[in-house]
Structure 1
Amino acid sequence: MVAENAVVVFSVSTCCMCHVAKKLFCSMGVNPSVVELDQESGGADMERALVAKLLLMHGSDMQQQVAAPPPPSCRATPALPAIFVGGKLIGGLDRLMACHISGSLIPLLKEAGALWL
């Protein structure tokens, strides 16, 4: 799925941070493929695999986030949303927002074929 779609967001339908990531993409005219893990059979296994991948990518920073409880408005682990652009793991909402603020998100989206501006 990640390789076949320009943008993929692994999400939980009740997670506020996941909602923000999806809204950001939609406001930019990007239509991400969204996988709501709480609505998928095997979603818990996918979530564990994403956490492991994020731990490898971000090391001790992510270890501390995963150990912390999620915000009360979210059921998701801090590993969610897990965002892939062009088949590459960007990370969570913090990394997505950092890319957006720095101006590097639009070139990534164009390169992945998610934006044509």
Structure 2
Amino acid sequence: MDRVRDLASKKAAVIFTKSSCCMCHSIKQLFYELGASPEVHELDNDSYGKEMEWAIRSLGCNPSVPAVFIGGRFVGSSKDVISLHVDGSLKQMLKDAKAIWF
């Protein structure tokens, strides 16, 4: 859990993904389209990936990816991020965390 929290706090927007996950790709694209450059950690390409996946699941993220952190705070999985985008609050969260400036 410490590794996940440490990585999640290093940038304004952090996404834990798996390289073969289509929802992970969609969430990354959404962030890029909003002007953010999230730090992406692909769990299937990380030697600590399994341990980090279990830590993310313990936060309540099921499925475990994508797991999104904004401003060091756990936001949720793809359905949570999409809900925030639809209601207009995702962009403001990214602004508040200084992940985007406009």
Runs of at least 5 residues in structure 2 that lack an aligned partner in the other structure: 1-6
1:1-117 aligned at under 5 Å gives the runs 1-54=7-60, 66=62, 78-117=63-102
Tell me the equivalent position of 1:61: none
1:20-56 Cα distance to aligned partner (Å, 9 max, x none): 100100111110000000000010110011001126x
Q: CA RMSD in A?
A: 1.0
Normalised by the size of structure 2, how large is the TM-score? 0.90
Cα distance in structure 2, aligned partners of 1:54 and 1:82 = 10
Matched-pair identity in %:
41
Cα distance in 1, alignment partners of residues 37 and 58 from structure 2: 26
Count of aligned residue pairs for this structure pair: 96
Once residues 115 and 54 of structure 1 are traced to their aligned partners in structure 2, the CA distance between those partners, rounded to angstroms, is: 27
Stretches of structure 1 lacking an aligned partner (at least 5 in a row) = 56-65, 67-77
CA distance in structure 2 between the partners assigned to 1:81 and 1:112 by the alignment: 19
TM-score (norm 1): 0.79
Which of the pair has more CA radius of gyration?
1
User: How big is the shift at 1:79?
Assistant: 2.1
What residue identity is the alignment partner of 1:99? L
Q: Give the superposition deviation at 1:91.
A: 0.3
Query: What secondary structure sits across from 2:69 in the alignment?
Result: strand
